[in-house]
Amino acid sequence: MVVKIGFGKLGNIGSAPLLEFLLDERAERKDVDVRVIGSGAKMGTEHAVEIAQKLIEFKPDLAVVTSPNAALPGPTKLRELLTGAKIPTIVISDGPTKKAAPEIEKLGAGYMIVEADAMIGARREFLDPAEMSLFNADLMKVLTVTGVFNYLWQEIDKAVQSIQKRETPILPKVVIDKEKAVSYSGLSNPYARTKVMAAHEIARRVADLTVEGCFMVKEWERYTQLVAAAHEMMREAARLADEAREMEKAEDTILRTPHYDDGTILTKRKLLEKPKKVGEA
Amino acid sequence: MVVKIGFGKLGNIGSAPLLEFLLDERAERKDVDVRVIGSGAKMGTEHAVEIAQKLIEFKPDLAVVTSPNAALPGPTKLRELLTGAKIPTIVISDGPTKKAAPEIEKLGAGYMIVEADAMIGARREFLDPAEMSLFNADLMKVLTVTGVFNYLWQEIDKAVQSIQKRETPILPKVVIDKEKAVSYSGLSNPYARTKVMAAHEIARRVADLTVEGCFMVKEWERYTQLVAAAHEMMREAARLADEAREMEKAEDTILRTPHYDDGTILTKRKLLEKPKKVGEA
Amino acid sequence: MVVKIGFGKLGNIGSAPLLEFLLDERAERKDVDVRVIGSGAKMGTEHAVEIAQKLIEFKPDLAVVTSPNAALPGPTKLRELLTGAKIPTIVISDGPTKKAAPEIEKLGAGYMIVEADAMIGARREFLDPAEMSLFNADLMKVLTVTGVFNYLWQEIDKAVQSIQKRETPILPKVVIDKEKAVSYSGLSNPYARTKVMAAHEIARRVADLTVEGCFMVKEWERYTQLVAAAHEMMREAARLADEAREMEKAEDTILRTPHYDDGTILTKRKLLEKPKKVGEA
Amino acid sequence: MVVKIGFGKLGNIGSAPLLEFLLDERAERKDVDVRVIGSGAKMGTEHAVEIAQKLIEFKPDLAVVTSPNAALPGPTKLRELLTGAKIPTIVISDGPTKKAAPEIEKLGAGYMIVEADAMIGARREFLDPAEMSLFNADLMKVLTVTGVFNYLWQEIDKAVQSIQKRETPILPKVVIDKEKAVSYSGLSNPYARTKVMAAHEIARRVADLTVEGCFMVKEWERYTQLVAAAHEMMREAARLADEAREMEKAEDTILRTPHYDDGTILTKRKLLEKPKKVGEA
Amino acid sequence: MVVKIGFGKLGNIGSAPLLEFLLDERAERKDVDVRVIGSGAKMGTEHAVEIAQKLIEFKPDLAVVTSPNAALPGPTKLRELLTGAKIPTIVISDGPTKKAAPEIEKLGAGYMIVEADAMIGARREFLDPAEMSLFNADLMKVLTVTGVFNYLWQEIDKAVQSIQKRETPILPKVVIDKEKAVSYSGLSNPYARTKVMAAHEIARRVADLTVEGCFMVKEWERYTQLVAAAHEMMREAARLADEAREMEKAEDTILRTPHYDDGTILTKRKLLEKPKKVGEA
Amino acid sequence: MVVKIGFGKLGNIGSAPLLEFLLDERAERKDVDVRVIGSGAKMGTEHAVEIAQKLIEFKPDLAVVTSPNAALPGPTKLRELLTGAKIPTIVISDGPTKKAAPEIEKLGAGYMIVEADAMIGARREFLDPAEMSLFNADLMKVLTVTGVFNYLWQEIDKAVQSIQKRETPILPKVVIDKEKAVSYSGLSNPYARTKVMAAHEIARRVADLTVEGCFMVKEWERYTQLVAAAHEMMREAARLADEAREMEKAEDTILRTPHYDDGTILTKRKLLEKPKKVGEA
């Protein structure tokens, strides 16, 4: 059975742009069919309705919706329409979504709240296309090496596997914090693990400054510096994540977990060894 | 008038994941409405047909389609259907697309071929979700700081402006090479410019190794090392791009070009100054 | 008049070890006489009593007391004894001291609460003499470049000047946060300023992990990783502070404010210029 | 028995500010009681007399005195008064102290001469509070990772242990040079050891430039550059020390030697293992 | 028997300046006698004739000639004269020499074509003595760590050994590309190997920009930037090579292959072990 | 008139391998003709005699001889034969040559003693071809950026100019120390200047460790570490030199002094400006 996964994207968070490719990194999987519907930077309820409609037309076995702050009306509407259409739905969003978690549970949807997926410094004096792109690139590095991305795709994969077995998928209900992230990082050196835990916390705290700079401070010289400082923090977190990965290279222990054609996850540690299925000799 | 832009994404290239956000980096523009339809990692003609159909339902004023190697049947079908529906279409793709350029022109579509958008090292022994994500993050840094992304969104913006004026949009027909990219980088320090030109060339040459490793070498130990070396090159290119941007910070000359609500491009150089419209005192 | 300053040190914080030398960095001042009495790592009330007694014997015109968490009984006793002896007293301490601020004010003492002076990761599985020393060295770098140390010694200098003029010294009552610190940093490049603001916030957030690791988590494997991650954060903050200072070197704009023999503060920006008194041509 | 240790500090050297905390890095030791008396940056004989008096009032079982150049009158007076009061005394000082070594021995005192503890660039055109602090932070890193600090506290600990056994303490008489330092560094990787040996030599040679710049060259432009170059050397030495420690992290072999509550030294190599007493299984 | 080796150097390439010292790095070999004749930067046929004459006077058992582009008249003349005098001759040159390879073979000479030995950015607006020297230093680092230099001296050593055994030496006929180079690098960590393969490719591609900048582009602003970008690439390649070697230090696995007095190659991996002859226990 | 310059090279020092190319970095000069005669790593008197003979056959207008320690018999013989043949001769050598300076003057020869040109760590347990090459590459970077190489070629150029004017050349008699070197560095940022002064001193002090390791310490484990530490110092000096040059790039102030075809020295500071003769508008 080919499992149909529909991704609905309202606005942007760091977890969103590469999400569908995390599931099928070499375009070789035969067990899934993916469709993505997005509304760009906008995330109003009218966008939510249209995205839901297109996704439902696709008749997905599983829906994954991404947005900032899933407590807002747009993301709320989107998941209500999808769960209303009996589609198993996973909400992936950032820290402010915590307050919506009970309501998401009530809908029967799953959620993965990514604490390190900090809000960008969205002030006109600072954020232009280049700055937006660099922030996302740094954030992606952090989310990758800290283990957050592994957590995301492995939970989606689990749901896919349940569906393939015609079981009701168990949808994740998790706030990914520093320790949960690191447990998925696959890092073997304990100092590499502490470095990515540090990177995670720095990334998470970026949001303190961007929230202050975007919503609480009115003087433009002050908020410009605040959001700029926040982006420096994210750059630093990315640098630390990179340092951790280089440590693993130095010991030739980078965990690689490529997908096999049938969706199975293979695993290997040494660069010059063949990946194996778990349990394979 | 709100210009409707439809993004069709078949498979992934570095230029694609953040493309729609480059147009509206703070979600403030009122002059455009964006819809994205994608098929994830897959790029067959059947996906092309479905994406085209959904895009056409959206009745976009402008379509932008992204894919690797736009000479392949899937991307070809997608742009044929869109241009067949009289939708002005811009093809954004990577180096191998050059051979399709005449045919794209014949369709009346525009194209932007990004030489530095090198193919990923898609070998199962090497490429897992984490490695895929890190490669894309590095590549995004390169494409941002070298000026490639600026080139992409400014051409799309030009088309949008023509459409707003009810003019026939002039679609770009360009191969973005090292010198064209740098001319859009906005870098003021000449050494920063040479550093990003170096980064561009390193990134472009990544494709030599990934193509060799993915298509020409059969021994797995050899191709694994080739594609791994290619990703080291991209990491290095990203580091050089970062170095160039830091140079501009050291002189407080980073060019910022945020979008205003109405889609106008503002501009500023000093961190602590207000962005202005071009020509504004 | 030579102003006698007595430093009482109970336990250690990053602001303490070099504090008296910040006042007289080249041992040339003739207007102050300094005495330091400390009890090493311990900070019980019995130590406080003994330190107070020795300080009072010195008959200082001004007392400066340093300790972690000045709300604890030891530091509280120390300042009570000093203020009881009518000695103008400034309390310098870390974040948890905020809750003691009203009580300190009531005593008529001043205080400078240093948010970035984060608690060390005091777990036996992690903290040995070397790790303690490295943490302090990193923290000193952060406190120096972010402007915190400038803030501390300039406030003490102000009190000294008042006393020299036989005025009642105005004692500081300040929580040094990211913006207050940076305003004292003397950095001229706005990106250097945002970098040290980032360094400040990373340093401040170190305390979240050390408090969690030292007081809230019981499993040793977990708390060891938490406090180790916290020290990685501080190392990163120091690196960022260093980067900011190097930026200023690149423009030859490092602000230097050496003390003259009579305690006057001189000032200069270019490495190869003579320092001048403020207002001097 | 609780051993009382009195620290007398005249002026500053890199070995001094954290010295008492090296003995009790987590404030948990029950076997020692520490008192510190200092005179800030000044080191005249009048300061020496007063410090000696306060220390003698404390009735210490062991005195440790720190100062630059212990051949000067102030430090000489201090140790004469202490040894005259029959207090076992260890002198810790920098390179110029070598000439005083025979005289120190004659007094029955011990000494630890730290070659790498180079004189600061004390010129008004260069050295302000911030520069002083950064130099000390760099120097502390060097003294920590090269093994110098380990040497210092372990010798003091040995004396403490003798006193606890009611034995006459054997006081150290040592010039800590590059090889002696490294033998205490605990580094396991031989390249890390050569890196810290290099760091040690660079730090030691800082004094050549600061002595030339402070005492031999009269033209201010020249001496300013000389002392500034010296501080660049120290920054570089610190960077190399950091690099060495990161190497050990990469192999998870950092030696940690925390003090137990009773003053015993524990030891461990892996981050995630419990420290043990020497000889413990 | 002492083998006499004559080095003829026409113009400069990165492989040339240290070549004779690679054979006898500590000046201890007793089995070879070396003479070097060079004409500096010039490489005309008149220089070739004179160098050949001086070399022939030396009656070498083996000649090694270095130059850029050995297809040019000067280098061609030089090897013709040497082979005409029945001297076994090895040509060492850069990429453009490939077209001369058949002709070199016809002469009975050997050749080693070094792909990574890229042409320098020889434009007057850019290349001064300092820039020339820095480029060569970076290039030497690349050629060393990637394994190219090992390849060069080991092939010369093989020829020497044949001559010592009174055999006709088998002269190398090889184009050293990325994989051949790395196979001689002695690096044990597979990521270090991929890093130097990346460094090799970056270095090789330097020539694309310098050839374009020196021969194809006429506008001085453009060619100045092209050749400057090329040198940035080489600096980056050197940095990557350095990173690879540091990785090996971190595992204490640097392969060292010193020459013994009799020309035998010894070998060792750990810093603190004695080198051994191959096969020695 | 074309000035004929003969370079005689006995053994190796860092100043030697690129020396002739410093005079004619782009192979464009028409006013000089260069010949190089060398004996590889060996520097016995028999080599000196043969090199002298070949050089004299060339009838040079100026001879430049390089070797380590020019007080040794080989280098002494070489300059005696050259000056005996009435050839103006400049000796370029390293620190130990100072003791031969009076004797060189007596011969009427000039000398340039390069303090930073430190002896390599020539121990069989450590120094293999790769380590030799890397040391030289690092040393070349130091000698370039600190200004030493500029000093060398400019003095040779001065002698060449005198000869062209048929004047008796004034030969240099100089010990190049840290301040003399920096005065030739062309660096404009004062911090860059202090950084290269630091690099110079670190490089100079390398010799302390290599001399100790090669001649004074007998235990192989000890001397291996000493010479390895020395090479780490040189790597660090090179890194600092690189940092200084990058600082100048950040301000676009790198001084470039290319030779014109007629040997004139041109000069420029901005990357994108044409070089000019001194005095040219």
Q: How far is E68 from chain D (nearest CA, A)?
A: 37
Give pLDDT tens digits for C229-280: 999 999 999 999 999 999 999 999 999 999 999 999 999 999 999 999 976 6
Bridge partners of F90, per DSSP, are F64, F110
Q: CA-nearest residue of chain D to F234?
A: D198
Residues on chain B touching F251 (C-beta within 8 angstroms): 251
F222 touches chain D (CB under 8 A): yes
DSSP string across chain F: -PEEEEEEE-S--TTSTTHHHHTSTTS--SSEEEEEEE-TT---HHHHHHHHHHHHHT--SEEEEE-S-TTSHHHHHHHHHHHHTT--EEEEEEGGGGGGHHHHHHHT-EEEEETT-PPP---TTT--HHHHHHHHHHHHHHHHHTTHHHHHHHHHHHHHHHHHTTPPP---EEEE-HHHHHHTS---SHHHHHHHHHHHHHHHHHHHHHHIIIII---HHHHHHHHHHHHHHHHHHHHHHHHHHHHHHHTT---B-PBPTTSPBEEB-STTS--EETT--
Question: What pLDDT was estimated at residue E228?
Answer: 98
Report yes or no for ipTM above 0.90. yes
Q: Quote the CA–CA distance of B78 and D139 in Å, as a whole number.
A: 64
Residue E135 token pair: 């480029």
CB atoms within 10 A of CB B208: 17
Which token pair is A12? 């942007």
- Beta carbons of B22 and B4 less than 8 angstroms apart: no
pLDDT digits 0-9 by tens, B233-273: 999 999 999 999 999 999 999 999 999 999 999 999 999 99
Q: What is the pLDDT of residues D112-149, one digit of tens each?
A: 999 999 999 999 999 999 999 999 999 999 999 999 99
- Is the sign of the CA dihedral A206, A211, A217, A219 positive or negative? positive
Cα of C238 vs its chain's centroid, Å: 16
Per-residue pLDDT of D225-271, as tens digits, reads 999 999 999 999 999 999 999 999 999 999 999 999 999 999 999 99
Would the pTM count as exceeding 0.90?
yes
User: Which of B198, B225, B231 lies at the smallest CB-CB distance from E229?
Assistant: B198
CB contact under 8 A, B205 and E202: yes
**Residue F271 to residue B194, Cβ atoms within 8 A:** yes
**Chain B within 8 Å of E230 (Cβ-Cβ)?**
yes
Which of D245, D249, D268, D269 to mutate against chain A (most A CBs within 10 Å)? D249
Type and span of the H or E element at A253: none
The set of chains that have 3 or more CB pairs under 8 A with F is B, C, D, E
What span, in angstroms and rounded, lies between the C-alpha atoms of E41 and E11? 4
Task: Give CA–CA dist D121/E209, Å, rounded.
Answer: 46
- State how far residue B5 is from chain A, nearest Cα, in angstroms: 10
For residue F143, the number of C-alpha atoms closer than 13 Å in the C-beta half-sphere is: 32
In angstroms, the separation between the Cα of residue E253 and the nearest Cα of chain D is 10
- The angle subtended at Cα E18 by Cα E12 and Cα E21, nearest 5°, is 145
Chain A residues within 8 A of D250 when measuring between CB atoms: 189, 191, 247, 250-251
C-alpha closest to that of E204 among E65, E95, E96, E67:
E95
Q: What pLDDT is stored for residue F32 in this prediction?
A: 97
State the burial class of residue F109 (Cβ atoms within 10 Å of its Cβ: 0-12, 13-18, 19+).
buried
Residue B20 has pLDDT above 90, yes or no: yes
Residue A281 has pLDDT above 80, yes or no: no
Please report, for residues C9, D76, D113, D164, the alpha-carbon distance to residue D65 in angstroms, rounded to integers and kept in the order given.
Answer: 18, 10, 12, 20
Length of chain A: 281
F241–chain D Cβ distance below 8 A for any pair: no
C190–chain B nearest CA distance, Å: 7
Neighbouring chains of E at 3+ CB pairs within 8 Å? A, B, D, F
Instruction: Please judge whether E27 and F50 are an interchain contact, meaning their C-beta atoms are less than 8 angstroms apart.
Output: no
Counting as contact any 3 or more CB pairs under 8 A, the partners of B are A, C, E, F
User: What is the C-alpha to C-alpha distance for residues F16 and F131, in angstroms, rounded to an integer?
Assistant: 18
The SS3 of residue D128 is coil
Q: In this structure, are residues A72 and A43 in contact, taking their beta carbons and an 8 Å threshold?
A: yes
Q: What is chain E's pLDDT, residue by residue, as a tens digit (281 residues)? A: 899 999 999 999 999 999 999 999 999 999 999 999 999 999 999 999 999 999 999 999 999 999 999 999 999 999 999 999 999 999 999 999 999 999 999 999 999 999 999 999 999 999 999 999 999 999 999 999 999 999 999 999 999 999 999 999 999 999 999 999 999 999 999 999 999 999 999 999 999 999 999 999 999 999 999 999 999 999 999 999 999 999 999 999 999 999 999 999 999 999 999 999 976 65
The DSSP bridge partners found for residue C267 are C276
How long a stretch of residues is chain E? 281
> 3-state class of D169 per DSSP?
coil
Q: How far apart are CA A153 and CA A169, in angstroms?
A: 14
Three-state secondary structure call for residue B189: coil
For F173-185, the pLDDT digits (tens) are 999 999 999 999 9
Are D39 and D10 spatial neighbours (Cβ–Cβ below 8 Å)?
A: yes
Q: How far apart are CA A10 and CA A64, in angstroms?
A: 11
pLDDT in tens, B173-222: 999 999 999 999 999 999 999 999 999 999 999 999 999 999 999 999 99
Nearest CA-CA distance, residue A121 and chain B, Å: 9
Burial of A220 (0-12, 13-18, 19+ CB in 10 A): middle
* Count of other CB atoms within 10 angstroms of residue F190: 18
pLDDT score at E225 = 98
Chain B, 23 to 62: residues with Cβ < 8 Å from chain A are: 23-29, 33-43, 50, 54
- For residue C269, count other CB atoms closer than 10 A to its CB: 15
Q: Is C165 exposed, middle or buried (0-12, 13-18, 19+ CB in 10 A)?
A: exposed
Chain B residues 104-123 with CB within 8 Å of chain E: none
Coil, strand or helix at E262: coil
Instruction: Report CB contact under 8 Å: F191, D228.
Output: yes
Please indicate whether, in this complex, the C-beta atoms of E270 and D190 are within 8 angstroms of each other. Answer: yes
Measure CA of the first residue to CA of the last residue in chain A; give whole Å.
28
pLDDT at D7 over 80: yes
Interface of B with E in 179-198 (CB under 8 A): 179, 182, 190-191, 193-195, 197-198
Cα(E207)–Cα(E118) distance, rounded to whole angstroms? 5
Contact D104, D76 (CB under 8 A): no
Share of chain C above pLDDT 70, in %: 99
Is the pLDDT at D281 greater than 70, yes or no? no
Q: Can you read off the two tokens belonging to residue E26?
A: 């500590």
Chain D nearest-CA distance from E261, in A, is: 26
* B172-182 pLDDT per residue, tens: 999 999 999 99
pLDDT digits (tens, 9 = 90+) for D91-104: 999 999 999 999 99
Nearest-CA distance A248 → chain C (Å): 17
CB contact under 8 A, A247 and D252: no
Name the residue of chain E whose CA is nearest to F140's CA.
Answer: E137
Give the integer Cα–Cα distance in Å for A6 and A10: 13
Within 10 angstroms of residue D253's Cβ, the number of other Cβ atoms is 16
Local confidence pLDDT in tens for the 281 residues of chain F? 899 999 999 999 999 999 999 999 999 999 999 999 999 999 999 999 999 999 999 999 999 999 999 999 999 999 999 999 999 999 999 999 999 999 999 999 999 999 999 999 999 999 999 999 999 999 999 999 999 999 999 999 999 999 999 999 999 999 999 999 999 999 999 999 999 999 999 999 999 999 999 999 999 999 999 999 999 999 999 999 999 999 999 999 999 999 999 999 999 999 999 999 976 65
Strand partners, F4: F33
Nearest to A160, CA basis, from A41, A64, A48? A64
- The closest CB to that of A225, out of C194, C205, C236, belongs to C194
A129 touches chain B (CB under 8 A): yes
Please answer whether residues C101 and C28 qualify as being in contact, where contact means their C-beta atoms are separated by less than 8 angstroms.
no
- Ramachandran region of residue E175, left (φ > 0), alpha (ψ -120 to 50) or beta? beta
Helix (H, G, I), strand (E, B) or coil at C80: helix
- For B70-94, write each residue's pLDDT tens digit: 999 999 999 999 999 999 999 999 9
Report how far residue E176's alpha carbon sits from residue E158's, in angstroms, rounded to the nearest whole number. Answer: 17
Query: What pLDDT score does A191 carry?
Result: 98
Closest chain A CA to residue D254: A191
> What pLDDT is attached to residue D198?
98
Asked if D272 lies within 8 A of A190 by C-beta distance, the reply is yes
**D201 chain-F contacts, CB cut-off 8 A:** 205, 208-209, 229, 233
Q: Are C221 and D272 in contact (CB under 8 A)?
A: yes
Query: Residue C84 and residue C48: Cα distance in Å, rounded?
Result: 14
Whether pLDDT at D11 is above 90: yes
Rounded Cα–Cα distance for residues A30 and A8 (Å): 21
Q: And the tokens for C188?
A: 């001229």
User: Are F247 and C249 a contacting pair at CB < 8 A?
Assistant: yes
What are D174-210's pLDDT values in tens digits? 999 999 999 999 999 999 999 999 999 999 999 999 9
Residue F256 at interface with chain B, using a CB cutoff of 8 Å: no
Q: Which tokens go with D126?
A: 């260069």
Nearest Cα residue in chain A from C189: A225
Instruction: Find the mean pLDDT for residues B61-66.
Output: 98
Rounded Cα–Cα distance for residues A89 and F94 (Å): 75
The pLDDT-based confidence of D278 (bands split at 50, 70, 90) is confident
Q: Which of E16, E133, D194, D200 lies closest to F139, judged by CA?
A: E133
Q: What does C98-128 look like in DSSP terms, one character per residue?
A: GGGHHHHHHHT-EEEEETT-PPP---TTT--
User: What's the mean per-residue pLDDT of chain D?
Assistant: 97
Cβ pair D249:A251 closer than 8 A: no
Closest-CA residue of F relative to B248 is F250
**CB-neighbour burial class of residue C160 (10 A; exposed 0-12, middle 13-18, buried 19+):** buried
Option in C25, C144, C274 nearest D125 (CB):
C274
Evaluate whether chains E and F are touching (3 or more beta carbon pairs less than 8 Å apart): yes
For range C108-129, the mean pLDDT: 98
Q: What is the mean pLDDT of residues A87-114?
A: 97
pLDDT at C127: 98
So what's the pLDDT on residue C178?
Answer: 98
CA dihedral F38, F42, F45, F46 (to 10 degrees): -70
Measured distance CA(B58)–CA(C143) in Å, rounded: 56
Owner of token pair 């003769």 = F277
